[in-house]
Amino acid sequence: MSHLFIRRVLLAAAVAASASLVAAPQQFSQQVRSAYVSVDAPLIALTNARVIDLTGKTVLPGLVMVHEHLYYPVGPGVYGQLGESFTRLYLAGGVTTMRTGGNVNGFMDLNMKLAIERGQKAGPAIDATAPYLNGPNTFIQMRTMKGADDARKQVAYWADEGFTSFKAYMQITRAELGAAIEEVHKRGLKITGHLCSVTYAEAADLGIDNLEHGFLAATDFVPNKAPDTCPGQGAGQQTIAALDENSEPFKTLVKKLIDRRVALTSTLTVFETFTPGRPLPPGLEVLLPDLRDQFQRTFERTKTNTTSNYLRLFPKALALERAFARAGGMLIAGTDPTGSGGVIPGFSNQRQIELLVEAGFTPAEAVQIGTLHGAKYLGRDARVGSIAVGKQADLIVVAGNPAASIADIRKVEIVFKQGVGFDPAKLIASVTGRVGLW
């Protein structure tokens, strides 16, 4: 029998032997405690549990996911700001640390981060990413930069306001990206990118830290691609769908990314919603009825699209990410609740782990990608991302054994954040039927 002892924020793990740990607990407001907390005591013992591997129940590290958003598509090209409901859903799904992978609001991500840190709201610890750094674009909620100097100014402004992460977007130029990277690194911060105008190889040479969406945003293999010009994500994806993961061009790109220490974020959940024949995404019941119906109509259209490029592209995405990781690349994970909808925070984070197993990773490897790898990328692995003596008690208790059946990762019973046990059912019930309003 294994025992886990939680001393407030601290984990005292007794997997093979007993040990103890002490740290300062986070204080949550009485409103948060009465509404969502189910376990709250100075010392807590979790008994008869396997540690992921944790008989009876399984204890895993809290998920550390790095491509999350506090917004969701609510209309053509429009994103609703859903920080209040999304943070509760992320926590309910077992996400105890997250990076917002770009925002289209301004200060909400940062303010939610601070409110959660003060214990005023229930949610994961947030690494807040500033508004997108982009060139000319058609998004009504996204600014257009005006050259390299402007890129530096934007980074400086948002960093001074307290944002700790940055994201370059599809229409950025090499000069703007290079300037942004220099300013970000000067401040000891990190920058990622969902690119198109700039190739992965060019971004790696410029010093980018992370690239989003596996290889599905790469335009490196588009014939006669013009510099600083986005040929369209469709053009890039056509070349990726036909790419052989054992080919020398792909291996050369992978080697460059590994040599330059560029992490790659897997966001399989959002691409699954575009792919015919895939199951209905979990969690749709929390949405406003109109948004739920809207996505289900999209899902039915997708299901019958026998010519969709995603029939080739989605399995290719799994194969390329596996090849990158097997070559020694740092693969991290997120969900990206954008696209046409259907990617529901918390539910989708569990699904992302399942999809990594489908890609060929063992359950233990998939959990590690969604926990320790994300923590390492964020520089938080000394405190979170794994279960070890001396680490913060960010834990998920699930019924069953995800090491034997990865689908058990959906059976979350308690989420401990800094030693306080939150009730997922209460968190989900507090927003069900209203996600899309706030």
CATH of the domain at 383: 3.20.20.140
pLDDT at 44 over 90: no
Q: Counting Cβ atoms within 10 Å, is residue 22 exposed (0-12), middle (13-18) or buried (19+)?
A: exposed
Specify the pLDDT at position 55: 54
pLDDT tens for residues 131-170? 999 999 999 999 999 999 999 999 999 999 999 999 999 9
Let me know if residue 54 belongs to a domain.
no
Mean pLDDT of 272-276: 98
Specify the pLDDT at position 1: 38
Let me know if residue 405 belongs to a domain.
no
pLDDT tens for residues 322-340? 999 999 999 999 999 999 9
Specify the pLDDT at position 25: 59
Size (the chain), residues: 438
What is the rounded distance in angstroms from the CA atom of residue 112 to the CA atom of residue 121? 8
Let me know if residue 378 belongs to a domain.
yes
pLDDT tier for residue 52 given thresholds of 50, 70 and 90:
low
CA dihedral 245, 250, 253, 255 (to 10 degrees): 60
Q: For 260-269, b where at least 16 C-beta lie within 10 A, e where not — what string?
A: eebbbbbbbb
pLDDT tier for residue 13 given thresholds of 50, 70 and 90:
very low
**Domain count along the chain:** 1
pLDDT tier for residue 70 given thresholds of 50, 70 and 90:
very high
Let me know if residue 55 belongs to a domain.
no
The region of weakest confidence among 69-73, 77-81, 198-202 is 77-81
Specify the pLDDT at position 21: 32
DSSP-assigned letters across all residues of 175-205? HHHHHHHHHHHHTT-EEEE--SSS-HHHHHH
Residue 204: HSE in the Cβ half-sphere, 13 Å Cα cutoff: 20
- Give the domain extent around 170: 62-387
Specify the pLDDT at position 47: 75
Specify the pLDDT at position 10: 37
Let me know if residue 75 belongs to a domain.
yes
Q: Tell me the CA distances in angstroms from 307 to 312, 413, 420, one per residue in order.
A: 10, 41, 49
Let me know if residue 16 belongs to a domain.
no
Let me know if residue 375 belongs to a domain.
yes
Give me 402's structure tokens.
């995800």
Let me know if residue 336 belongs to a domain.
yes
Specify the pLDDT at position 19: 30
Please name the residue ranges forming H helices in 20-133.
30-36, 83-92, 108-117
Q: From the DSSP assignment, how many helices (H) and strands (E) are in the chain?
A: 15, 19
Mean pLDDT of 280-294: 97
